Amino acid sequence: MMPLMLVGFALIAALTCDVPKTAGTCGSASQDEVSPVRLSGGVFDEANAPVAGARVLLLPEPRQPMTGPPPQTMTDLDGRFSFARVPPGQYRVDTQKPGFVRMADVVSLPRIDLAAGQAIDGVVLYLRRGGVITGRVLDPGGQPLAEARVMAVRRLTAKGSPDRLVPAGQGGVTNDLGEFRIIGLLPGAYYVSAAPRMPTAFETPGRSATTMIATFFPGTPGASGAQAVTVASAQTVPDIIFRLA
């Protein structure tokens, strides 16, 4: 009978705490409103394989006040993630890992509503493996160019507006062999551009008869003469080699 008595006392305590409270008596008046949420689930790729080392972020909706960085965690070797104490509210769930496609804007992210005191398990999130473009950047003399900034751009066409070139995927800089790797690309056509490294504030630019400028593959200074590189889902397009103009 002792367990039943304990339950009875707990129920009585809960019922008698419905009236306004002061500090030290039955807790605070907003206890239910601020009870944190426990949230857990898994991250998988398009083949339903777990994705380890993925970052999961809970981005609060714009109207929800938030101090400090958003709640975030990493998936384990089984693709599992867990949040022990999340403030209740509305969130967009962002999942990130290099090599996988990232959403273009926050509005495209899935939304989740978290009520105070909830314990939610079994949340399933998916990441899509992106396409890859690899190649080399050379200087005007045909030698490998290190530390060149390389990126992929897409042409966006909108009715009644001029075309725009917008960055896509995750670019970077070339290594000592002039090699680059652009990852996380959605299927589609891209233009690859490279630009020489800009000198820092502590460097004095060397004097040279040749000045390198930003260049699009296969070697044109403008996007109008650039050659598009088509990438399929999870495909690697190699050997994109061009010289800076």
Domain boundary among 126, 142, 157: 126
Let me know if residue 1 belongs to a domain.
Answer: no
Q: Residue 43 has which token pair?
A: 């991250």
pLDDT digits (tens, 9 = 90+) for 184-196: 999 999 999 999 9
Question: Quick one: 71 and 113 in the same domain?
Answer: yes
Tallying the residues shown for the chain, one arrives at 245
Separation of alpha carbons 63 and 153, rounded Å: 32
Q: What are phi and psi of 11, to 5 degrees?
A: -65, -45
Asked if the model's pLDDT at residue 18 lies above 50, the reply is no
More confident residue, 130 or 203: 130
Question: What pLDDT is stored for residue 223 in this prediction?
Answer: 85
Q: Is residue 15 domain-resident?
A: no
Render pLDDT for 25-51 as a digit per residue (tens, 0 to 9): 444 444 445 699 999 999 999 999 999
Question: Does residue 21 form part of some domain?
Answer: no
The alpha carbons of the chain give a radius of gyration, in whole angstroms, of 27
Say if 28 falls within a structural domain. Answer: no
142 with 181, same domain: the answer is yes
238 and 153 within one domain: yes
Q: 16 lies in a domain?
A: no
Pair 148, 238 in one domain: yes
Q: 149 and 118 share a domain?
A: no
Dist. CA 169–CA 130, nearest whole Å: 8
pLDDT reported for residue 37 = 93
CATH code, domain carrying 156: 2.60.40.1120
Owning domain of residue 86: 37-126
The pLDDT of residue 198: 76
Name the domain count of the chain: 2
Domain edge (last residue) among 99, 126, 153? 126
Q: What is the pTM of this model?
A: 0.72
Q: How far apart are CA 220 and CA 214, in angstroms?
A: 9
